[in-house]
Structure 1
Amino acid sequence: MKKVILTFSMGFLLPAVHAQQQQGRVLYERTVQMEMHMMGIAGDGNANAATMLPQSHKDQLEVLFGNDQSLRRTKEDDRPEEFSPREDGVSFRMMIADADDVTYHNFATAQVIEQREFGTKNYIITDSIHKLNWKLTGKTSTILNYPCQEAIAQRIGKRSSASMENGQLKQTEVADTSNIVAWFTPAIPVPAGPEYQGQLPGLILGIGINDGRIIYTAKEVSANVDVASIKAPSKGKKVTTAEFNKERDKMMADMQRSNERGRMMHTIQ
């Protein structure tokens, strides 16, 4: 009888300790395998220009969660900087697509509000959480001592692609399908994470997109958080997702047209 009671008590106690955490902060490391988008490069010697750039980029971001809400932002001391000009006069500029973005989720209302910076402007985009069709694989792992389960999904969409043909800039829409692998822990039953918030029944501690093209890895989980700081951003022009995409594409086209000869802009999308 004692053995039965002891086994039950220990099995109940371990999940209960983790289940108490309903708020906290997670520090993630993001690794991005770079895609090279060269603009303003001319001449025979520029065929190997891509080899002069790093093949991957790492940065850190934090996610705060509590009261059925979450807030994702890049760490202020981890923003990309422009590379120094080389001796041949060619300079490199690295632009991380969401380096200054802030993303807020309200899980109770299934609402997402983004503050996105592009050019010199800030935009506020309000939308609903669009859930993917997740499937559990049955695989398990341990991340930062938390038991995790694997879930997979596929995101099918489109993105804008720019190209130069006969000196003319052309914008086209191309298919953009992403295969996603996420590791979440039911031990912290909060649907927060670095991406795909509000979609899985536990905190996401790891994500892999398109066979490692983008990887998120949790480096630290803490229960200490200023819950009052988890609020929707409000500084910027209020637009819909479609309106933001239209303005962004126009600004990208203008930037490419005005790009100086001998200067290379490198973007990570």
Structure 2
Amino acid sequence: MKKIIFTLAAGGCLLTANGQQQQGRVLYERTIQMQMRMMGIGAGASAEAEPDNLLPHSRKEKLELLFGNGQSLRRAVEEDAPEEIADEGGMHIRMMVVGNNDVSYTSFSNNRVVEQREFAAKNYIITDSIHRLNWKMTGETRTILNYPCQQAVTQRIGKRLMSTVENGQMKSREVADTANITVWFTLAIPVPAGPDFQGQLPGLILAIDINNGATVYQALEVSPVADLAAIREPSKGKKVTEEQFNKEREKLVAEMQRNGRGMMRATRIAQ
């Protein structure tokens, strides 16, 4: 009898009166397609147009999302993985993903987002409000991990960094970027959390596709148990605005371009 009472009490802290989960942990796999264009290596100036000068690279990584008490926290799951290095014409290229250790905290009730972003071994703290996109429900449905999900789509207009190698030197520039976004969310867990686009939809996001597979998030498991004490604002890093972060990033990229001959970072095709 004691065991039955304990089980019901423990379950009661996870569910509302109508039995819907209000806290938990989700493990996601994120797959990022990256591409670097090599120019001025081997085949001369015309090499820019040749498919062989494109270095495709796909990277998979695990993320966890903790949610509860009107808040969420997304962070990377540490995994032991060998460093990946490509060899192109005698030049070693180190494949690295910018922002791999980023942490994102969201308070839904306060409309507040605090992000810890890593760039060039430095941490930055950026505080902002939730920027809601114009979502359209398509009526499409599917089941993910036994949860019934609805499809929503939107577009995000922004900018991204594009990196190239010209005559052995890395160069980066900011280009316009329009992201076509498809998400699948479930009303069975009525919490506006997810690995991205937190606070924007009425249910937990279990899958995201950005630009037809350029970046994909897929839920691998959902648990009703979460370390609620871990859901707190990140604080380790230099506090900056979004604009200040972009300026510092541009400055650091310029320094890497001057000093990083023979080494460059892979960039995402789309964010």
- Aligned Cα RMSD in Å? 2.9
Closer/same/farther in 2, CA of residues 18 and 194 from structure 1, 3 Å limit: farther
Secondary structure at the aligned position of 1:34 is classed as strand
Quick one: distance in 2 between partners of 1:250 and 1:158? 17
Quick one: distance in 2 between partners of 1:221 and 1:168? 44
Closer/same/farther in 2, CA of residues 74 and 164 from structure 1, 3 Å limit: closer
Closer/same/farther in 2, CA of residues 76 and 258 from structure 1, 3 Å limit: same
Closer/same/farther in 2, CA of residues 252 and 147 from structure 1, 3 Å limit: same
- 2:105 maps to 104
Aligned partners of 1:19 and 1:188 also within 8 Å:
no
Q: What percent of counterpart residues are identical?
A: 59
AA paired with 2:138? T
Residues 166-203 of structure 1 deviation map (CA, whole Å, 9 limit, x = unaligned): 99987654221101000000000001101100000000
- 2:59 maps to 57
CA deviation after TM superposition for structure 1 residue 91, in Å:
2.1
Aligned partners of 2:193 and 2:205 also within 8 Å:
yes
- 2:229 maps to 228
- 1:213 maps to 214
AA paired with 1:157? G
Quick one: distance in 1 between partners of 2:169 and 2:78? 38
- 2:27 maps to 27
Quick one: distance in 1 between partners of 2:36 and 2:166? 18
- 1:7 maps to none
- 1:44 maps to 43
Alignment of 1:193-212 (within 5 A): 193-212=194-213
Q: Gaps (5+ residues) in structure 1?
A: 1-14
Secondary structure at the aligned position of 1:198 is classed as coil
Q: TM-score, normalised by structure 1?
A: 0.82
CA deviation after TM superposition for structure 1 residue 231, in Å:
0.4
Q: TM-score, normalised by structure 2?
A: 0.82
Closer/same/farther in 2, CA of residues 167 and 185 from structure 1, 3 Å limit: closer
Alignment of 1:5-16 (within 5 A): none
CA deviation after TM superposition for structure 1 residue 267, in Å:
3.0
CA deviation after TM superposition for structure 1 residue 57, in Å:
1.4
Quick one: distance in 2 between partners of 1:169 and 1:219? 36
Q: Gaps (5+ residues) in structure 2?
A: 1-14
Q: How many residue pairs end up in the alignment?
A: 250
Match of 2:79 among 73, 77, 80: 77
Closer/same/farther in 2, CA of residues 108 and 44 from structure 1, 3 Å limit: same
- 1:245 maps to 246
CA deviation after TM superposition for structure 1 residue 90, in Å:
3.0
- 1:68 maps to 70
Secondary structure at the aligned position of 1:44 is classed as coil
Alignment of 1:57-206 (within 5 A): 57-77=59-79, 81-84=82-85, 89-161=90-162, 172-206=173-207
Closer/same/farther in 2, CA of residues 150 and 165 from structure 1, 3 Å limit: same
Quick one: distance in 2 between partners of 1:146 and 1:244? 38
CA deviation after TM superposition for structure 1 residue 87, in Å:
10
Closer/same/farther in 2, CA of residues 118 and 29 from structure 1, 3 Å limit: same
Greater relative contact order (CA < 8 Å, ≥ 6 in sequence): 1
Quick one: distance in 2 between partners of 1:162 and 1:58? 20
AA paired with 1:57? R
